Amino acid sequence: HAASKPPPSPSPLRNSKFFQSNMRILVTGGAGFIGSHLVDKLMENEKNEVIVADNYFTGSKDNLRKWIGHPRFELIRHDVTESLLVEVDQIYHLACPASPIFYKYNPVKTIKTNVIGTLNMLGLAKRVGARILLTSTSEVYGDPLVHPQEESYWGNVNPIGVRSCYDEGKRVAETLMFDYHRQHGIEIRIARIFNTYGPRMNIDDGRVVSNFIAQAIRGEPLTVQAPGTQTRSFCYVSDMVDGLIRLMEGENTGPINIGNPGEFTMLELAETVKELINPEVEISMVENTPDDPRQRKPNITKAKELLGWEPKIKLRDGLPLMEEDFRTRLGVPLKK
């Protein structure tokens, strides 16, 4: 009779991919700048369930506020240097502070995040059979002797400098990715990201575009670090997210450069910000930090050919979009 029937209990297999028609995606570092824009894009697809794991070192819940409580979204306070048990189909592994002032703040922690954090995410990928994408960096080219940088270039990196926790850390992370791929057959994707900018960057995170825009809005001098002739190439965040998703969905392991080849000196960037945002503002030359790369520009032939990707948003079009966000957050409305 009825009493002898076992109570309905959730099957332990219910958590298994086998019963999921949706794609379940883990984004580590998803509360950060690029991560939160990536989450926005992934959540647009109703077949995706997104889990974010973040320790809020440089990211914030605020970046994800529109998704908190959404049935396809989950946010976990978690440090990737500890192991993580979740069942997912894809892992976008972004967790790592990206701005020099934050990654230099606790360099040993930065190394642990890059090495132990990536090892843990690879162990997770191995256990559940997930595909994993690492957001590596143009910093793996160090102070490059080849210009523009193509993926076959091995780089010129100081192993014992103050940036090494970040650039050597990412180089080891790339090594781990390839060793798990060769040794355990894990499906890997590696993006080498070049300088990226856009709304939601930390206002005081010390990176050049966020510094100049905040300074221009506040009417403070734009601090160009000497000599000002060093170059960077800036990619708008929506282009970056599009490139990362194409890489994950495509068939190539990479590494593939994702960045905007438009190259500017820091003096040119300051002049552009001044012209677009506040023509009254001064430009002042300040001291630089050690090991600052002198030039950086991606060769994106591989991204074009293998992913059909190239950036769409020019610096002059992207800066005003970021200005709007910064004005709102700084509480300084547009003069006009």
Residues 237-276 that bind ligand UDP (CB under 6 A): 266
Q: Give CA separation, 163 vs 87, 231, 259, 262, 289, in Å.
A: 34, 18, 21, 24, 10
Residue 142 binding ligand NAD, by CB under 6 A = no
Residue 57 binding ligand NAD, by CB under 6 A = yes
Residue 100 binding ligand UDP, by CB under 6 A = yes
Q: Which of 150, 142, 133 is nearest to 305 (CA)?
A: 150
Residue 233 binding ligand NAD, by CB under 6 A = no
Length of the chain: 336
Contact 41, 14 (CB under 8 A): no
Closest approach, Cβ 140 to ligand NAD, in A, equals 9
**Nearest residue (beta carbon) to ligand UDP:** 123
Q: Which of 81, 92, 225, 100 is nearest to 165 (CA)?
A: 100
Residues 175-234 that bind ligand UDP (CB under 6 A): 195, 207-208, 211, 223-225, 230, 232
Closest approach, Cβ 104 to ligand NAD, in A, equals 13
Site string for ligand UDP, 56-95 (x = CB under 6 A): ---------------------------xxx----------
Degrees (nearest 5) of the Cα angle 118, 119, 121?
65
Residue 26 binding ligand NAD, by CB under 6 A = no
Residue 58 binding ligand NAD, by CB under 6 A = yes
* Active site annotation includes 166: yes
The one catalytic residue in 166, 180, 197, 236 is 166
What is the Cα–Cα distance from 11 to 61, expressed in whole angstroms? 32
Residue 33 binding ligand NAD, by CB under 6 A = yes
Residue 141 binding ligand NAD, by CB under 6 A = no
Q: Which tokens in the block code for residue 162?
A: 């103050």
Q: Which of 72, 290, 112, 330 is nearest to 201 (CA)?
A: 330
Backbone phi, then psi, for 168, in 5-degree steps?
A: -70, -35
Query: Do strands 235-236 and 188-193 pair parallel, antiparallel, or not at all (unpaired)?
Result: unpaired
Residue 245 binding ligand NAD, by CB under 6 A = no
Question: Which of the choices ligand UDP, ligand NAD, none does residue 223 contact, using the CB cut-off of 5 to 8 A by kind?
Answer: ligand UDP
What is the Cα–Cα distance from 216 to 212, expressed in whole angstroms? 6
Question: Which of the choices ligand UDP, ligand NAD, none does residue 148 contact, using the CB cut-off of 5 to 8 A by kind?
Answer: none
Residue 196 binding ligand NAD, by CB under 6 A = yes
Contact 259, 138 (CB under 8 A): yes
Site string for ligand NAD, 79-118 (x = CB under 6 A): xxx------------xxxxx--------------x---x-
H-assigned helices in the chain: 33-44, 100-103, 107-128, 164-184, 208-218, 237-249, 266-277, 301-307, 315-330
Give 35 or 293: the residue with its C-beta nearer to ligand NAD. Answer: 35
Closest approach, Cβ 16 to ligand NAD, in A, equals 26
SS3 assignment, position 326: helix
What is the Cα–Cα distance from 297 to 194, expressed in whole angstroms? 8
Give 14 or 70: the residue with its C-beta nearer to ligand UDP. Answer: 14
Q: Which amino acids are annotated catalytic?
A: 166
Q: Which residues bind ligand UDP (CB under 6 A)?
A: 83-85, 100, 119-120, 123-124, 126-127, 195, 207-208, 211, 223-225, 230, 232, 266, 288, 292
Q: Which residues bind ligand NAD (CB under 6 A)?
A: 28-29, 31-35, 54-59, 79-81, 94-98, 113, 117, 135, 137, 193, 195-196
